[in-house]
Structure formats: structure tokens, C-alpha cells
Chain A
Amino acid sequence: MPPVSGEYESFLADVAEAVAQHVAPWRARIAEAIAQWSAAGYAVGVLERAMQLPKEPDVDGLLATFAAAAEHLASLERVALAADPALAGQPVFKDPARVAEAEDATARAVAAVSPPPGPEAALTRDAFEVGESNQGAAAVADEAVATPGVRHALLVIHGPSGVGKTHLAHAVANDLVNASGGALVAACVTGEAFAGELVAALQAGGVERWRARYRAVDALVLDDLQGVADKERTQQELVALLDDLAAAGKQVVATLDRPPEGVPGLAPELRQRLERATVVAVDVPDRALRERLYARALAPRHPGLDADLLRFLAERPVRSARDVAAIAARLTAAAEVADVPLTLRLTQTELGTAARVAEAKAAGVVDAFFLDAEKVVWDWPDVSARVSEEHR
């Protein structure tokens, strides 16, 4: 009998049918994915472990997650290589089980090239005066510095404008950096700036790079976070960033102009995280704090300051520590212009004038143009001095 043509092909077709019929279909799908991703150079340990499962897992979810992770890794690798070509070929960018490591490597590479803005060096904890109105916040901030990323991993400081929230938040960042001998990286950004950076990154197609900068930090200060209100995409990014930093045990300090529950325009996810954080208030400076603030502000230029002067100043209510600094600067300028020491009388005169302007403004009976302190003379000199030079 002559050989039957195509016997082998027929046999092969039967075997293929039997394999397709009897091999667990879900394992076959994973096996195909393993072959595909291996060929692309990816580590497939995750998929191989899934193959060993006694029961069928969510294969669609598994493969979709793997594909998303691989895509994310490719994106990270592009960003990392742009920052540091020496990272080419790093296995971490080919292993979906090591996404966190890849993110970290990318973030550090990017941060090394263009680090985010750090805290203002002048805003230290030593320079932050403590009184009844802010002692609770200061104590919690000190705890955060002692154990960053632990008990107060997300610290929210709220209070009116100018009361020292930014100072305290930057002080935390400065202390953390200094305590590490400069090893830790701290970033400080306002809510408005954060949103602006994101928009710019989106327009430039560099979101991954932008994200990586912030994920590389060890401490993050988000100042005036209410600036992200009603900015949906920014808040999404912010939530993801807060979660990543929390998972990595990093310290975050946010400041708000009011308690989190009162800030309008926040997405529920962000509001939830802020409300769950350690929330502390900084109030307008109390009398004792005002006295210390004035003493600190005036002492460098006016050594041996009169205690009565400080008491006089401290008795006057202010809305914020910033107001204290402004008043101190104004008194210093007045004393320097007059070329006299800063005295209680000069202070009373200077502040009295300002007070009258303020009262007139409040009454609303004078044309506001003439209430500008620089344009109006409230205390006329004697008559001879009033005659203009040309008429003498």
C-alpha cells in the first residue's frame, strides 16, 4: 500500500484539536501571554506563579494588569533614560513585579536633574515663636519631625492668612532635611503652583516626569492647598501622590486657610484624606505671642528696646504674624527716616496716624484717594512751614 498523503498533517490537526480541547484554556491563555511578554524582554514571574494556581484566577484582570504595568514601566523607562542614560537596560524596567522600584529609580533620576523647590531656609523652627494660639500645632509639628511619616504622616495646618502656617510647614521640612544631614529631599509647593505645573506637564506631554519629581521626595509641603479647589485633574493627581507618599512612609504637611471640611471645591477622595489626617489649627497671635513676635522682629535693628514699647505693641490686636512683621518694618523705617531711636512716642505717633486712616476708611466718609497715608498730611507743621518756598 502506498503511503497515504498528508497523514502527518492530519495527525497534527487531530493533536492540535485535542490539545485545544484538553489543556486548561485559562492556562493556555496565560502561557501565550508569557511567551509574548518574554519575547518582549519582560520578567513574567507573576504570570508563571498564576499558572501554578489550583483554580482559575481572573485571567482577564491579570493580563490587563500585567499589560498596564508593562506600559507604565515603558513610560517610566523613557522618563528615566531622558534624565539618566546610564539607567538603560536596567532589569527593573522590565519587571511588572517591581513597579514600585522602577518608580523610585525614575523619581530619583528625575529629581537629581531637576529637583522640586525646597523649603525657604529662613523659615526654621527656631525662628517660629510659640504661644497659646499655635502651641498645639507646633507640638504636633515637632512630633512629625521626630517620627516622619508615622503618626502624623499627613499633617494639615489650618488657620487664617499670615498666622504662620507656611512658616511652620517649611520649618518641618527644613528640620527633616537638616536632621538627615541633607540626605533627605523636601519639596515645597503651593496648591496653585502644583496645579499650574500639572497643566504645563500635560501640555508638554511630560506628566510621568512631573509625577516622578514629587514621588522622589522624602517630605512634601503643600502650602495653601485650597488653591487646588475645583481643579478636578489636579486633585486626582494629588490623591495619587498622597497615597504613594503615604505608602512609602514619607512626610506630608499641608496648609489650608480653614478646616478641611470647610474648604469648598474639594473632591470627596481628597477631602476624605485631609479629614483623616492630623489636623491642627493656628489662630491669630495672642497677646504674649505678639509681644515675642515684636521683640524678635525689632531686636536686630533696635537693641535695648523699651519694655513699655513692646507692651504697647502687644496690646494692639493684629490679624496675623504677618501684620506684626509689617508693623515692625514700618516702625523701623519711620525711626530710620527720622534718624531717631524707636521710642514709645514715635510708635504711638506712627501707629496713631495709621489708626486714623484706618478709621476714616472704615467710616467711608472721605474720598478714598486722599486716605492714602503717603498722600495725606495729618499733622500739619507750624504756619511758617506751610508757606511754600516761592511765596516767602
Chain B
Amino acid sequence: MTIVNYATREITCKIVYYGPGRSGKTTNLHYIHEQVPDGRKGRMVSLATQTDRTLFFDFLPLDLGSISGFTTRFQLYTVPGQVYYKTTRRLVLQGADGVVFVADSQASQLAENVESLQDLHANLGEQGVDPRSVPLVLQYNKQDLPPELILAPAALDEALNFRGAPSFEADALHGRGVFETLRGVSELVLRRLSAPATAGR
């Protein structure tokens, strides 16, 4: 996907929130949606099941306005975390400029986190994308839960963050860490604007 289109003077970043089911991906988007001024936010599209789980995906368009002469838009997506929506995840992941892996900090969810992370790598690999080349940040959500229920960020880093990607503690329900995470992945994505691979686009 083109990050910057000099011809139309647009910067479009597709950022995908990935992670196991119920880790808080949609909650991240809801919080962001709430903070965006009315004139700047598009309608958040959320295709959810009757049990309120993401069936297909969430989509939040953010119009950041004109920056350095470029109309800048961020498109935030979430994938359905449940294991059986693998095909949907793969579709949503296509053309992603950056990925936020939202891990559930609960100790009981560690296996799901690991499985989802492996699923992310597998899907990227199947799309011919080197997972190491995709801008990635990790968010350790639900850090507001009692300490006895969750793993500390350091422990999660050790279990999940073998690439040494930027990681952020978060309580997405109340907003803590949400924008820090988005800012982190945005910085990684925008850093690629100056890379030769996109310079001529």
C-alpha cells in the first residue's frame, strides 16, 4: 500500500490492531474515536456479532488534515481475534503500513497472545511480507487489573517481544496508553516516508 502519494498529495497510513480475542483492540479504536474532534473523525464502522465480538473488522478513518501540503489520513483497522477468523484477519492485514499487537496482560491469556503473535507472523509471511520489515509496536493492555492477575510488562516483553519492538502499557478502557501506542506505531510508519522504496511513489 502506498503510504505517500505525491501525485495526489496524500499520505494514507493503514494501521492494523492485531491480537487475540477480547484483548482490547476495538476498545483502543473506540477511545481514539472519542478523542477525535467531530470534524475530523469519520464514522467508525464496526461489524460485530450479537455477543459484541468483532465479526469482520472495525474501521476508523482519521482525517488529520493538510500536513506539509499533504492530505493526511490514517485508517485504523482491527481484526477479529478469534482463532477461526483467520481468513478475515489475513484480508484485513493486507497492505498494512503498521501493526499494533494488542496483548492481553492477563497471565491466563499468555498462550492466546503467543498463538496470535505466531498467527500474525504466519499471515504476513503468506502475503510475502517479511515480518521484520513491518513497523510493529506491542501494547500490553489491561494493566489496570489486579497485579496477581496480570503479567508485568517486563515479563510480557520477554515472552512476546523478541524483536525488541516498542511496547506500551495500557488501560484501553480508560485511555491510558492508547495514544502513546498510536503515536509509537505512527512514528515507525512515517519514518518510512523518507525510505527510497516509497520516495518515488
Contact = CB atoms under 8 A, between A and B. Distances in A.
Given A16-B67, A51-B7, A3 B35 contact: yes
Interface stretch (B50-58, B120-128, B191-199): B191-199
A21 B190 CA distance: 9
Interface stretch (A5-13, A94-102, A182-190): A5-13
Interface in A19-61: 19-24, 27-32, 34-35, 48, 51-52, 54
A51 B6 contact: yes
Nearest to A8: B35
Contact of B190 (A8, A19, A32): A19
Nearest to B171: A1
A8 B67 contact: no
Contacts of B191: 18, 22
Interface size class of B (residues with CB under 8 A): 35 or more
Contact of A24 (B40, B144, B194): B194
A145 B35 CA distance: 79
A177 to B, nearest CB: 48
B146 interface: no
A15 interface: yes
> For the complex, would chain B's binding face be called helix, strand, loop or mixed by DSSP majority?
mixed
Nearest to B31: A3
A23 B179 contact: no
Contacts of A28: 68-70
Nearest to B173: A1
A31 B35 contact: no
B155 interface: no
Contacts of B35: 3, 7-8
Contact of B6 (A1, A4, A31): A31
A23 B194 contact: yes
A4 to B, nearest CB: 6
A341 to B, nearest CB: 87
A1 B179 contact: no
B179 A10 contact: yes
A120 interface: no
A5 to B, nearest CB: 9
Interface residues of A, number: 31
A48 B5 CA distance: 11
A269 interface: no
A136 to B, nearest CB: 59
Interface string B73-109: 0100000000000000000000000000000000000
B160 to A, nearest CB: 24
A35 B179 contact: no
A12 B68 CA distance: 13
A334 to B, nearest CB: 84
Contacts, number: 97
A18 B69 contact: no
A27 B179 contact: no
A14 interface: yes
Interface stretch (B16-24, B111-119, B180-188): B180-188
A15 B171 contact: no
A8 B6 contact: no
Given A1-B171, A8-B36, A11-B179, A16 B68 contact: yes
> For the complex, would chain A's binding face be called helix, strand, loop or mixed by DSSP majority?
helix
A330 B26 CA distance: 110
B70 A31 contact: yes
Given A7-B175, A51-B6, A22 B194 contact: yes
Contacts of B9: 31, 34-35
B43 interface: no
B183 A1 contact: no
B161 interface: no
Nearest to B10: A31
Of A22, A28, A51, the most chain B CB neighbours within 10 A belong to A22
B200 to A, nearest CB: 6
B46 interface: no
Given A11-B183, A14-B186, A52-B200, A20 B36 contact: no
B187 A14 contact: yes
20 contacts: A1-B171, A7-B175, A11-B179, A14-B183, A14-B186, A15-B64, A15-B72, A15-B186, A16-B68, A21-B190, A22-B190, A23-B68, A23-B70, A23-B194, A31-B69, A31-B70, A32-B68, A48-B7, A51-B6, A52-B7
Given A24-B194, A52-B6, 15 more contacts: A1-B176, A7-B35, A7-B175, A7-B178, A11-B182, A11-B186, A14-B186, A15-B64, A15-B183, A16-B64, A19-B193, A21-B190, A23-B11, A51-B6, A52-B7
Nearest first, the 9 A-B pairs at minimum CB distance are A32-B69, A1-B174, A22-B193, A18-B190, A22-B194, A51-B6, A31-B69, A31-B9, A7-B179
